[in-house]
Structure 1
């Protein structure tokens, strides 16, 4: 018989649940709460033996993280949860004068197995339980403390909303890390307060959805990073047969991805809206529906039309104003209208980056857009775009320059000319963190001066490989030229020919010479040119030519041989 949910309160810590109640699956192995209690008692003993202070925990294994987490709490310590264990992050954590437990290089506590166990007692709900870090999407990550009662109350409230539709023994599987607040709440805290087991290993590839351990129903805790990139050919039959719920958070989930998953599995994706600072705020299960506040959360608009809230998951009961623009329905639900804090000042004009992105999406040529401020000799805007099918066709048929001019002309109908993006990147996907967030820093890196052109298409002929190259005006080779006079240097054309040839053909390592090199017509910024490569293995000779239609830009032969 299932225990009453009150017994699973976080206040009971590792004392909650019968010994034979499954807590986690690691591969095909089931770890029950009895074994977990013993591990927590040893981890608490290991931590208690350290000097007083916080404990930083990192582990790729969710069960190990759960043991360290509860061990620290039973030892009266707060857990610092960094998002990763890279050398830079590890150094930042060490600077906080904390001990390191888990998968850190030179961890103070790499394991708990040899420690003497200590008796376990109930926990103080007012204790500072964890410090998590914001995503740092607009700057340096911020440190956010959370009390034990905040974690407990939030996930017991979520259980009251979603738990009635999920089997008591459903297995929680995930594609997100427990090192971030969303993953911590849904991969560890929710299973602990609901009595459901969780999978210790995080799923990395979509194909793993059909290989979840056991036979129990499944709850998928995921993010847009995976859900919007599920391959069309992927067979989701096995997952659909066991799946009872799909959750997504960490960033906006495109409507197309939500509806496609519903069509393929019959499951509505439950999106959770919130932040590290606020915890969960609201949820919805259809991309066209308004957001419904979670239990206990009060929401209202500010005088400026921004979302504000009062919540038991905040440090106090004061109203907390967000930077999210909002429109309320009469029944208290609301629609999000974009961020209000994404305002750039360009030549004394205030430009809404959110409005620019919305206008780009409205063209039908863009599937995803991110506009960022680029600091340099002058402040300008850069647009990183994932094109829609229609946009890719136009890029292929009309060329990069024509597409950029068309997008600029559309934007100019609603945006002051000074606020139009000057630099453009057409990419396959926006850079994302493991939580599905796209940070300003990662997008800005896309605009660092490239040294190679973008390959728009590749065609294999009987005796040659033909590449269609987009000549970005921001290429480093154009640096220092006046825009009207910039031409692509011949040395760059030679370098590109060799670079791309080495990715396509088996060629000797050493350069031996050049022959019949001709430069006939210049290659200008924003051009779309064809690079034709032929390699004669018998002569160890690469033949190359750059052309636009019938116009030949350059051609020649390059000879290779063995290293001296």
Structure 2
């Protein structure tokens, strides 16, 4: 894993680190403990004073609040925060090789991976309310990595001003549903671009309240939400949302639910809005672009671009976005249909498009049909091998169902060329914290459960 070279700053203007707010206004919740804006800034600047200027940071804090302290302190001090998609030893070793002076930030008792580092406490040093720092808007502040769900993770640098503009667009969309002020709780990891934007930067830069907790199980999500001030916003994924709804756990009133990382079935969106009593806003974006569009799935399939983002369609189903907070023109990984200057429809993902017997479909579409089958708790199509004998297979978590029943349920909606064979039943799928299945994990499943000779025989 490598990171791009860091160019020197050429700042022409500066922005305040955080938007204007009263010193005693609520900035975060540490469990049941409220944190004021003044305390947050005292902790940020105390940590910034301890950082060696310009040294790259590996922020491994497990608390969302302490992670935010480390990120903001690095922004103040001019330290680039490296946010790898995985903490596998190989990834960390690659970062250390690229950045020999890497400094770890942690809220644990000892430094992970035997890295040199600093402990990040959650403790108010006291004193007067500090003056808000001004940050060059083109300061490089973070290096985020793609998830690896379609191949090797790629690094992308983010500048302070672009991140602020990104979050302001998101906050404008959110406030249309919640009104002013909101508490944000996320079930997604905050090192991931979606989690970084929506559970850390959105409350910090958008005038909300950051929740330090990172619950996973439905009961923990409900318990944490109940302790947050209203209006409450839940930032989640289709996978986590499905688990919450299937658990039947009562949830405190919500003002909005946000979802991203995978296409959301309209049926699941309707169920969520009905059960949770809140509008569901779906986010479209990527690590490369950040969040660039939103939609309410129950209101239609069209996405609306954030202000300033421009979409261009080219040949061979390739589309490009630029403008707004997008660092540089980016080719989308998805096939989209442009409806007008602000709206588009999602057709499928380039990496998901398959052609079997002269017929074309999308893995994402097929997964959507599979997950809509009653009794299927989780599932994913795959293409074990390509070529003339190519045939799809599927891994499913569906206690009580047989393969013939799943095939029968798929047949009215899926061309016979795309019916999976074999269907492999598992107790669980190896989804990561954002609900995705990494390319390497899918290949491992194929190697373990669908030997080439067996697949050739079935094809």
Q: Report the equivalent of 1:27.
A: 31
Q: 1:94 aligns with which of 96, 99, 103?
A: 96
Contact 2:26 2:209 in 1 (8 A): yes
Q: Report the equivalent of 1:79.
A: 81
Q: Report the equivalent of 1:267.
A: 278
Q: How far did 1:200 drift?
A: 0.5
Structure 1 residues 27, 381: closer, same or farther in 2, change over 3 A?
same
Q: 1:386 aligns with which of 386, 390, 396?
A: 396
Note if 1:221 corresponds to 2:235.
yes
CA distance in 1, matches of 2:246, 2:384: 36
Q: Report the equivalent of 1:354.
A: 362
CA distance in 1, matches of 2:49, 2:196: 23
Task: Name stretches of at least 5 consecutive residues in structure 2 with no aligned partner.
Answer: 1-12
Q: 1:69 aligns with which of 62, 71, 74?
A: 71
Query: Which is richer in strand?
Result: 1
Contact 2:381 2:393 in 1 (8 A): yes
Structure 1 residues 130, 351: closer, same or farther in 2, change over 3 A?
farther
CA distance in 2, matches of 1:109, 1:145: 22
Deviates more, 1:201-210 or 1:299-308: 299-308
**TM-score where L is the length of structure 2:** 0.80
Q: How far did 1:434 drift?
A: 0.8
Give the match's secondary structure for 1:179: coil
Q: Which has the higher contact order (CA 8 A, sep 6+)?
A: 2
CA distance in 1, matches of 2:176, 2:405: 51
Q: Report the equivalent of 2:425.
A: 426
CA distance in 1, matches of 2:22, 2:371: 58
Contact 2:245 2:275 in 1 (8 A): no
Q: How far did 1:11 drift?
A: 2.5
Task: Name stretches of at least 5 consecutive residues in structure 1 with no aligned partner.
Answer: 1-8, 451-473, 485-524, 526-564
Note if 1:18 corresponds to 2:22.
yes
Contact 1:381 1:422 in 2 (8 A): yes
Q: How far did 1:65 drift?
A: 0.8
Q: How far did 1:345 drift?
A: 8.3
CA distance in 2, matches of 1:483, 1:81: 41
Q: 2:252 aligns with which of 214, 219, 239?
A: 239
Alignment map for 1:246-325 (pairs within 5 Å): 246-287=257-298, 288-316=300-328, 318=329, 320-325=330-335
Offset from partner CA, 1:532-551 (integer Å, 9 cap, x none): xxxxxxxxxxxxxxxxxxxx
Alignment map for 1:316-355 (pairs within 5 Å): 316=328, 318=329, 320-329=330-339, 332-342=342-352, 352=360, 354=362
Alignment map for 1:385-424 (pairs within 5 Å): 385-386=395-396, 393=401, 395=402, 400=403, 415=417, 423-424=422-423
CA distance in 1, matches of 2:63, 2:165: 25
CA distance in 2, matches of 1:253, 1:219: 18
CA distance in 2, matches of 1:373, 1:307: 25
Q: How far did 1:426 drift?
A: 3.0
Contact 2:369 2:410 in 1 (8 A): no
Give the match's secondary structure for 1:341: helix
Q: How far did 1:62 drift?
A: 0.9
CA distance in 2, matches of 1:83, 1:21: 33
Greater CA radius of gyration, 1 or 2? 1
Q: How far did 1:74 drift?
A: 1.2
Q: How far did 1:321 drift?
A: 2.6
Q: Report the equivalent of 1:181.
A: 193
Deviates more, 1:172-181 or 1:189-198: 189-198
CA distance in 2, matches of 1:383, 1:480: 14
Q: How far did 1:25 drift?
A: 0.6
CA distance in 1, matches of 2:88, 2:78: 27
CA distance in 1, matches of 2:40, 2:63: 14
